[in-house]
Structure 1
Amino acid sequence: MSLTPQTLSLLCLPCAGASATMYLRWRRFLPQWVRIVPVELPGRGARTGEAFADNYDALVAQLCDEQAEAMQGGDFALFGHSMGALLAHGMASRLHDAGRTLPRALLVSACAAPSQRDPERFEGKDDDASLTADLRKQGGTPEDVFASAELMRITLDVLGADYRICRSFAHDAATGSVPLPMPVHAFAGRHDDIDIQRIEAWSSETAGTFTLDAFDGGHFFIRQHEAAFLEALVRRLGPLIAQEKAHAPHALA
């Protein structure tokens, strides 16, 4: 009798202005033991009919409740790119504070550590012109979107709502964050506007292992160098599935 191969659910949170469908293509390239679970936010994708969230803490709490089933059993990890990384960290922290099952690891991409966020980053970006300029600067948005008035309207509405979420995030400089009892794996683009030192500061968010993988490219290196990034992602996830298998019951003869 053989065991069913173990799997690890990777809950993936999107960057600002995007839908979680940005992660669906990864299913074609990742090993079968990685189960991609796109975490859609209100107001986009399959949740277009819902009102946008407007508060970081409330959204984190909502996501923890909504994803309870996917996180049941502990065979999961959290991944987020840019704003998604901040939300993933918020979820891990909330689960820890509530004494709930924790992810096997937190994986953060293209995001400054909570203690290193720039409070002025999203100021003045609340009109179409400034949001469009920011889309251009960050890269990663197909030209087809800029060429379509309908797609731009949808994108700018989502981006504006997400920037309000980012503005509502508050880091307590006096108390800081409680280091999480799980590995934190960070990923960065060498040509991103976010200084690599601000991403290295994620090391203070964990009481366990910290790694940092850097790639050529800017804020959307995960698309510009997708193959290299996914290879690194699998390398960081591999020990988690090995740990899971080590705790699995032995097969019966």
Structure 2
Amino acid sequence: MNTKLFVIPKPNPNAKLRLFCFPYAGGSPAIFMPWVGLLPNEVELVFVQFPGRGARMTETAYTDMQHKVDELLTHQAYITEKPFAFFGHSLGSRVIFETTKRLVALGAPLPVHLIASGSRAPHTNSNKTQTYHLPHDEFVAELLKLNGTPKELLEHKELMELLIPLLRADFQIAECYQAQPVSLPCPITVFHGYDDIEISAEQLHGWQDLSKHKIDIHYFNGGHFFINQCKEEVISQVNQVLRKIL
């Protein structure tokens, strides 16, 4: 696949299944690199890389959910050419929902499973105050509170000048996008951090409204970024889901 949108760290043309991984707001494919070599041999990992990060750092980041989905669907043939599943964390979870919803509308092949990690259900109201438009210092202070960006990076002024436009763009989508609820024919597994106090029980269980199947919810120690804090446990649980599919 000759495109910057997809990063395939270990190509596996004989794979039975592709797992497309979508990062959180401000995240890049690098957050999934520890997964390489730790999933079943029949699975090919594909990391999704939107404008503004990695090899696409010089491209302007999207500020609208539909633009992300539009770009993905220009590669619909590749995404759907063999059985596939979606994993998304935080904003990535909302992207995989919206993408799947569009695939349903197109009558296209659908993911065999969605793993929605660290996110409220996309159709539920956010309790958070919008921050993406705050002045620079206030925005950086909000990033520090989230505990998802290393403090050393936040204090590196030159690097932050490069990253702030991407972070603002991603946060604009994360804070402004709210889905129209649709009950998908795909099974959904939800990952949640015990200490993620920004997601209420109602927002978490709201994922049930979005699947015709009974959802599974798995809890992890840690806050919103348990995906980084509990890598081994997360990978183990992803493997359990995948083995049921294969």
Partner of 1:105: 113
How is 1:55-70 mapped onto 2 (pairs within 5 angstroms)? 55-66=64-75, 68-70=77-79
**Counterpart amino acid of 1:88?**
I
What is the alpha-carbon distance in structure 2 between the residues aligned to residue 60 and residue 146 of structure 1? 29
Q: Is 1:229 the counterpart of 2:231 in the alignment? A: no
What is the alpha-carbon distance in structure 2 between the residues aligned to residue 119 and residue 140 of structure 1? 19
CA 1:122–1:7 in structure 2 vs 1: closer, same or farther (change >3 Å)?
Answer: farther
TM-fit CA distance, 1:239: 1.1
Partner of 2:5: none
What is the alpha-carbon distance in structure 2 between the residues aligned to residue 44 and residue 6 of structure 1? 27
Largest Rg, 1 or 2: 1
TM-fit CA distance, 1:136: 1.5
TM-fit CA distance, 1:25: 2.0
Q: Secondary structure at the match of 2:33?
A: helix
Q: Is there any run of 5+ residues in structure 1 with no aligned partner, and where?
A: 242-253
Q: Is there any run of 5+ residues in structure 2 with no aligned partner, and where?
A: 1-12
Q: Secondary structure at the match of 2:78?
A: coil
**What TM-score comes out, normalization by structure 2 length?**
0.87
Contact 2:15 2:41 in 1 (8 A): no
Residue by residue over 1:60-108, the C-alpha shift from the partner in whole angstroms, topping out at 9 and shown as x without a partner, is 12222235413323x1101111011111111010001110110011111
Q: Secondary structure at the match of 2:44?
A: strand
What is the alpha-carbon distance in structure 2 between the residues aligned to residue 102 and residue 8 of structure 1? 13
Q: Is 1:200 the counterpart of 2:208 in the alignment? A: no
Partner of 2:39: 30
Partner of 2:187: 183
Partner of 2:24: 15
Of 118, 138, 144, which residue of structure 1 is paired with 2:126? 118
Residue by residue over 1:121-162, the C-alpha shift from the partner in whole angstroms, topping out at 9 and shown as x without a partner, is 425643322321222222132233123222222332211011
Of 68, 77, 89, which residue of structure 2 is paired with 1:81? 89
**Counterpart amino acid of 2:153?**
V
Percent identity between the aligned chains?
A: 30
- The more displaced of 156-165 and 4-13 is 4-13
**Counterpart amino acid of 2:157?**
A
**Counterpart amino acid of 2:65?**
Y
Contact 1:186 1:212 in 2 (8 A): yes
Of 208, 222, 238, which residue of structure 1 is paired with 2:243? 238
Contact 2:113 2:187 in 1 (8 A): yes
What is the alpha-carbon distance in structure 2 between the residues aligned to residue 5 and residue 170 of structure 1? 38
CA 1:121–1:7 in structure 2 vs 1: closer, same or farther (change >3 Å)?
Answer: farther
CA 1:127–1:34 in structure 2 vs 1: closer, same or farther (change >3 Å)?
Answer: farther
- The more displaced of 128-137 and 218-227 is 128-137
Residue by residue over 1:140-190, the C-alpha shift from the partner in whole angstroms, topping out at 9 and shown as x without a partner, is 322331232222223322110112223442334xxxx22100100100001
Partner of 1:138: 146
Partner of 2:3: none
